[in-house]
Amino acid sequence: MRVSRTCLSCGYTADYGSAPLADAHHRRHSCAKHRGGLERVARRAERLQSRVPRECSHPQARHRHGTRAAYVKDRCRCADCTAANTAASRTATRERTYGRWQPYVDAGPVRDHIAALRAAGTGVVRIAQLAGPSVRYLRELAEHSHGDTLGTRRVRPSTATRILAIGINDTSRTPHSRVDATGTRRRLQALIAIGWPAELLAAHLGRRPNSLHRSMTGESVTASTAHDVATLYQRLWDVPSPRLTGGQRAAADAARAHAATQGWQPPLAWDDIDTDPTPPAPATRLPQRDDIDEIAVERALAGDNITYDDLTSVEQQEVIRRLSARGTSNRDTAAQLGATKRTISRRRASLGAV
């Protein structure tokens, strides 16, 4: 059980393994030495607090206070930067003592990764924005050949970690770089296949229909376009197109019919819309406006909040045909579907129903 003792004169406090050790050693401490140590700590803290922080003057790096980089590069001697430099020095000393000090690593893997990023459309400026080093440093690192002894051969582990963490994907590319248009084209086609008109999709994207058409027919699109279309697709792939007015219903039916004619697949037809092989075009395919959604028909027959206007033209005829076969009157059919009696009567007449 450890014993703590405090000097009433100078405030010196120490812990001992037992009471006899405390009695033997605590009385031997030097009050003057303890007070001198406290005074030195106070003077040091006062000096640190009186130092004026020096702001970073580098145009791109923008070093932050409280880091060793600001202490070394900006020569800032404020309390936070000094503490960060002291902690870094102690860490380096400890790692050297244990034989684990590794201030640099081989730059080869980093250089190869930069080359792969550049080949995929991510420029040096974009890499600098994502990883932090200056553009000049990255250019020197990227342009160094393995046989050149004057170039950059080693990098800091932290720098290597940040650069290697940049993925070779669309999010790493600059907004104006070109990427393959397959995923973008399929997403737009899938939304049209479920009834979203191209003009409405263009409005959601803040673009003109002609611009959207170029994205659907070209071999490549910009990274920003691919990102915008992917975001819109994620939001609308399971949302029905608007069908509140006659014009909206006509536009949705026309979009579905056009997609069926072209053989475009709906969202649920794809496992991975970016990489799945393109399915073969069907030999014969009826327009989707002639397809019947059995779930919608059954809900309408059951009176499950499906109105006449929620159904396509063929679904309307099928519901009225089945209700007529059950002997439901025009008045009851109109009330169940939220339509007028005259509309139901005309539909039945067109079907030859009595």
- What average pLDDT score do residues 30-53 get? 86
- Per-residue confidence at 14, pLDDT binned at 50, 70, 90? very high
Confidence of residue 352 (pLDDT cuts 50, 70, 90): low
Q: How far apart are the first and last CA of the chain?
A: 102
Q: Which two tokens stand for residue 255?
A: 């979009």
Return the residue matching tokens 């880091």: 67
Q: What are the tokens at 305?
A: 């909040």
Annotate 298-315 with b (16+ C-beta within 10 A) or e (fewer).
ebbbeeeebebebbbebb
Q: What would the mean pLDDT of 158-181 be, rounded to a whole number?
A: 78
Q: What is the mean pLDDT of the chain?
A: 83
Whole-angstrom distance, CA of residue 217 vs CA of residue 207:
16
pLDDT for 345: 84
89: exposed, middle or buried (C-beta count within 10 Å: 0-12, 13-18, 19+)? exposed
Predicted confidence band of residue 285 (pLDDT cuts 50, 70, 90): very low
**Which of 74-88, 134-148, 297-311 is modeled with the greatest confidence?**
74-88
pLDDT digits (tens, 9 = 90+) for 292-327: 778 878 888 888 878 888 788 888 888 888 888 888
- For residue 58, the SS3 value is coil
Cα(74)–Cα(65) distance, integer angstroms: 10
Helices and strands (DSSP H and E) totals, the chain = 17, 6
pLDDT at 276 over 90: no
> Residue 287's pLDDT band (boundaries 50, 70, 90)?
very low
Burial class (CB in 10 A: 0-12, 13-18, 19+), 333: buried
**What six digits make up the tokens of 2?**
């450890």
Domain boundaries, given as residue ranges, for the chain: 1-50, 105-172, 178-279, 290-351
Q: What is the pLDDT of residues 116-140, one digit of tens each?
A: 887 777 777 878 878 877 778 888 8
Mean pLDDT of 68-85: 89
Amino acid identity at 135: V
